[in-house]
Structure 1
Amino acid sequence: MTTASVGPEEAGRGGLPATLIWAGYALGFGLGGFFDGILLHQILQWHHLLSGLEEARQDIRLLILTDGLFHALMYVIAAAGLWLLWRSRAAFAVSGADRLLFANAMIGFGSWHILDSVLSHWILGIHRIRMDVDNQLFWDLLWFVVFGLVPLALGAYFRGNGKGGAGRRVPKGPAGLALAVLIAGALAALPAPDDGTVMVVFGPGATPAQAMQGLEASGGRLLWSHASETVWAVDISGGGDANRFYDHGALLISNSILPAGCLDWTRL
């Protein structure tokens, strides 16, 4: 049986390349960010990135924008991890490589949640895990332990017990992590379950008259509008067609033919 050749300039823990080690950290960190953004920002809607800032809460466009920038950053980190994983592909045949990759990914995953808790929740105060409860610290600490300390400890355990034969290796580690990153990224852009409410963002040149014409053409009912009249929440549960807004100056429409990521999951 042949094993991958690893140059001394690249050698890291146990003779494995440093690129493989950092690939695990980056992939885990990116997956931690995706997990946070998809579950807390979009599905549960417990907070947005800047929910702790009063001025930001007054502008839904800013909340959507910053959530989108956050996801873009996680894409970059995850892409860097995939690139490092590709560069270290020759080391996949080395005994213990997949176990180390999995362990480092767990460490990266936990590190994201620890960093987010300390920096975003307690130092900067830009958001908390749950913004709608009285005891916010309880939820912060619960999340910190379950998704921060526990994965970090498990990753450290797997690293410390990674020596030995192939019987203890985590199967399909590189392929599994790569697939998880790709799936997590795709999930961030999926539309939310249709409840009859859509968010409509109008382009810079759209006029209030055009917007009202779009509302009439869609057969919907206006629920809410931003002070700038550029973002509307429309009820189309009566059988309306939100896509008609595209003929009247709309730039993006949630749950439509042009999925809009975080916008799809925004609710009043």
Structure 2
Amino acid sequence: MANRYSYLSRNLWSGFLFGVGIVAFLDETLFHQLLHWHHFYDQSTTNVGLVSDGFFHAFSWFATIAGLFLFADLRRRQALWMKRWWGGILLGAGAFQLYDGIIQHKLMRIHQIRYVDHVIIYDIVWNVIALIMIIIGTVLLVQTRRKAKVETKV
């Protein structure tokens, strides 16, 4: 148990990378491929959009695999702290989704969630879900950080 306290940040980063990768993968699979709501880059031709989806898909898998390599290392060292790891996942997933919803959708306008008349409803749901993940992830991370401080002093 004491070993996991030495690896607080690695547990966080493993979960964070995994969370970013998984939410990006779900976004790309569900909204790009299955529902055809948008491409990663919608400001050009369909072919450019498909290529941009491919790069986005590769990014999501690189983040997922990096997170899993860190996860495997933590398990090998017997330093995995699942509650902290899940906090990292939720923080990473929420941070990526909020970045996507605010920066990519609204500021850069490289794509929208869906091209409909009342896109604001989709934007609100997208960003509120992101904020909920960020809040829950942050709570889990704060709880584990406090527990680590208390138990390492004893």
Same fold (TM over 0.5): yes
Query: Higher strand share goes to which structure?
Result: 1
Residue 119 in structure 1 maps to residue 103 in structure 2: yes
Query: In 1, distance between residues paired with 2:103 and 2:2?
Result: 40
Rg comparison, structure with higher value: 1
* Structure 2 residue ranges without an equivalent (≥5): 148-154
Aligned length, in residue pairs = 146
* Structure 1 residue ranges without an equivalent (≥5): 7-13, 165-268
Query: In 2, distance between residues paired with 1:76 and 1:101?
Result: 18
Query: Higher helix share goes to which structure?
Result: 2
Q: Residue 73 of structure 1 is aligned with which of 59, 65, 76? A: 59
Query: In 1, distance between residues paired with 2:132 and 2:70?
Result: 25
Equivalent positions of 1:78-89 (< 5 A) are 78-89=64-75
Query: In 1, distance between residues paired with 2:10 and 2:99?
Result: 23
Aligned to 1:151: 133
* Percentage of identical aligned residues: 27
Could you tell me the TM-score, scaled by structure 2's length?
A: 0.84
- Bigger RCO of structures 1 and 2 (CA < 8 A, at least 6 apart): 2
Equivalent positions of 1:1-268 (< 5 A) are 3=1, 5=3, 14-51=5-42, 53=43, 56=44, 59-92=45-78, 97-131=81-115, 133-146=116-129, 148-162=130-144
Aligned residues of 2:3 and 2:79 also touching (Cα < 8 A)? no
Please provide the CA RMSD for this pair.
Answer: 2.0
**Bigger shift: residues 115-124 or 79-88:** 79-88
Query: In 1, distance between residues paired with 2:72 and 2:23?
Result: 21
Query: In 1, distance between residues paired with 2:18 and 2:128?
Result: 20
Shift of 1:81: 1.0
Query: In 1, distance between residues paired with 2:9 and 2:125?
Result: 33
Could you tell me the TM-score, scaled by structure 1's length?
A: 0.50
Query: In 1, distance between residues paired with 2:20 and 2:78?
Result: 21
One-letter amino acid of the counterpart of residue 125, structure 2: L
Cα deviation digits, residues 154-173 of structure 1 (max 9, x gap)? 11122233366xxxxxxxxx
